[in-house]
Amino acid sequence: MNSLTAAFNSFFAGRAFPQERTAKRAWWLAIGMIAGWGKKTVGGAIRACCQHFEDWSAKYRVFSRSPWEPRDLFQPALDYCLGIGPKDAFFTIALDDTGLKKTGKHIPKTGYQRDPMSPPFHLNLRWGQRYIQASALIRPEGLYGPARAVPIRFEPAPPPKKPGKKATPEEIEACRLASKTENLSCQGARLIKEIRDTVPANRTVLFAMDGSYCNGNVLKHLPAGVKAIARTRKDIRLSALPEEALPHVGRKRLYGEDLPTPEELRQDGKIPWRAAEVYGAGKIHGVKYKFIGPVLWRKGAGTRPLRLIAVAPLSYRKSKNSKLCYRDPAYLLTTDLESPLPVLIQASFDRWEIEVNHREEKDLMGVGQAQVRSGKSAERVPQFMVCLYSLLLLASLKAFGPKRTADYPALPKWRKAESIRRPSISDIVALFRQEMIVSAMKDISIGRKSRRQKLVGRTKKGRGTTAEKLVAKQLLAAICASPYG
């Protein structure tokens, strides 16, 4: 019988920690953060494992002092995702940034950020941290099945700290320089290079990005073996390739004549629409698209040739009897000049899965709830929890496959089983808790005679033996992990 906890333990990289005792403490913290109830904090993880009567300082030092790298924890997830799918296909990665809400003003590398939940007519700000996440987009069921985004990196990306009112001219100039070299797109470009160095050289990496990374800081500095597709604005100015006219007089031309903007391309009736099939939202959609290429974008990509793709709005109905509505059109720029366009459009559609990652990590896994103050802990705890989320997704895939099977807890009666194709992270965590409870209760179920013999030997102070403490700890751990605890 397959086991979710066994699959999780096979992915959890204990070798990422310098000592065995540190790896053991990290494993207990991982179990507590997954199976525990309430807010996902370090103290809550310790209480979920019933270790709060012991010295808890060493477990906090796992994040604040122990010399380990978070990217080493993600390495098993990256290696497993590389083995899924054909070897000659793209290794597709979604790249996006996200913010974690914080309350403490003295937490390192925090600042005011735009609140994504603010209404469109009024911009709100909130205090928090900023991270860049890279998620591998895998398709266990092929084209006619949903994609799954598995986080492989979660790197802090704090904005440069602005100087105060009493700042010196040198500090102001240093901040101005940092705003050009330490902004979001520059940090994303460095993360792309770091991932490229980790992936085998024979695999081509395709990054699917949103408009935050569709600029010169990223497109002009893509390493070899990396291709990108990103959403762009509808009003960018593009140019054709220069014509090679002989004899050559004067300086060589780098750009040709001006081309229509993405919006003008979509509205141009002379360029015919093409049809493609992409999978999204549980079914196959027929989409229409236009493209021109190769094109040049002076401000964004310089002399690197690109292809521009305009995707027509998709139609939908809110109900069977409602009127036909349309979504917004999509404008895509890609550095890939050879691959079939439906493959690239499908990768752009699959990028939405990283938004699902952000929601599940914050709302269901509790990433960002731990209000730690140490400099290293403030960065490592969210990275550790995102890694646990990634390993749970892979453990579910390894143990039970990509579809939702009968091994998971039963769905409520009001939910249609045929509409649920894959397990959610709530299903995976519920099954993980269930297996932990069963495992703990099996360890507790000792024979009556042997249990009496092992629990005899109480001291005068009322303390039990080591065996008694072990049984009590396992029982309390099972109770804490159950919904009735």
Residue 470 has pLDDT above 90, yes or no: no
Distance (Å) of CA 254 to CA 221, 304, 460: 18, 10, 90
pLDDT in tens, 406-431: 888 888 888 776 667 789 999 999 99
Map tokens 């507590």 to a residue. 32
Whether the pLDDT of residue 385 is over 90: the answer is: yes
CA angle centred on 72, ends 66 and 78, rounded to 5°: 160
Residue 236: what pLDDT?
93
Q: Which band of pLDDT confidence, cut at 50, 70 and 90, is reported for residue 397? A: very high
pLDDT for the residue 275: 94
Beta-ladder partners of 231: 332
Quickly tell me which residue has 């802090």 as its tokens: 156
Alpha-carbon radius of gyration of the chain: 26
What tens digit of pLDDT does each residue of 261-282 get?
Answer: 999 999 998 999 999 999 887 7
What pLDDT does residue 465 have? 45
Higher pLDDT, 461 or 16: 16
Domain locations in the chain as residue ranges? 230-243+254-338, 424-481
pLDDT tops 60 at residue 364: yes
User: pLDDT band for position 246 (50/70/90)?
Assistant: low
pLDDT, residue 337, reads 93
Return the structure tokens found at 164. Answer: 């105060």
Best CA proximity match to 33, nearest among 364, 464, 450: 364
Strand 205-209 relative to strand 91-101, pairing: parallel
The tokens describing 141, both together, are 């069921």
pLDDT at 390 over 80: yes
| Tens-place pLDDT, residues 75-126 | 999 999 999 888 888 999 999 999 999 988 888 889 898 888 888 899 999 9
Q: Check residue 251 and give its pLDDT.
A: 75
Sequence-distant (≥ 6) Cβ neighbours of residue 365 within 8 angstroms: 40, 385, 386, 388, 389, 425, 429
The average pLDDT across 312-324 equals 83
Handedness of CA 125, 129, 134, 140 (dihedral sign): negative
pLDDT score for 483: 39
Tell me the C-alpha to C-alpha distance, in Å, between residue 191 and each of 73, 132, 151, 240, 413: 16, 8, 13, 31, 45
300, 216 contact by CB (below 8 A): yes
Question: 17, 27 in Cβ contact below 8 A?
Answer: no
Task: Return the structure tokens found at 21.
Answer: 């005792």
Range 207-210, long-range pairs (CB < 8 A, 24+ positions): 207/92, 207/93, 207/94, 207/95, 208/92, 208/93, 208/94, 208/95, 208/137, 208/347, 208/348, 208/350, 208/351, 209/94, 209/95, 209/96, 209/351, 210/96, 210/351
Q: Which pLDDT belongs to residue 1?
A: 54
Residue 410 to residue 416: CA distance in whole angstroms: 11
Mean residue pLDDT of the chain comes to 85
Structure tokens at 71: 């990217």
**Tens digits of per-residue pLDDT, 432-465?**
988 887 776 665 554 434 433 443 333 333 344 4
The pLDDT of residue 133 is above 90: yes
In this model, does residue 249 exceed pLDDT 70?
no
188 has a pLDDT exceeding 90: yes
Averaged over 50-68, what is the pLDDT? 88
Mean pLDDT of 347-372: 92
- 326 - beta bridge partners? 315
DSSP, residue by residue, 415-447? S-GGG--S--HHHHHHHHHHHHHHHHHHHH---
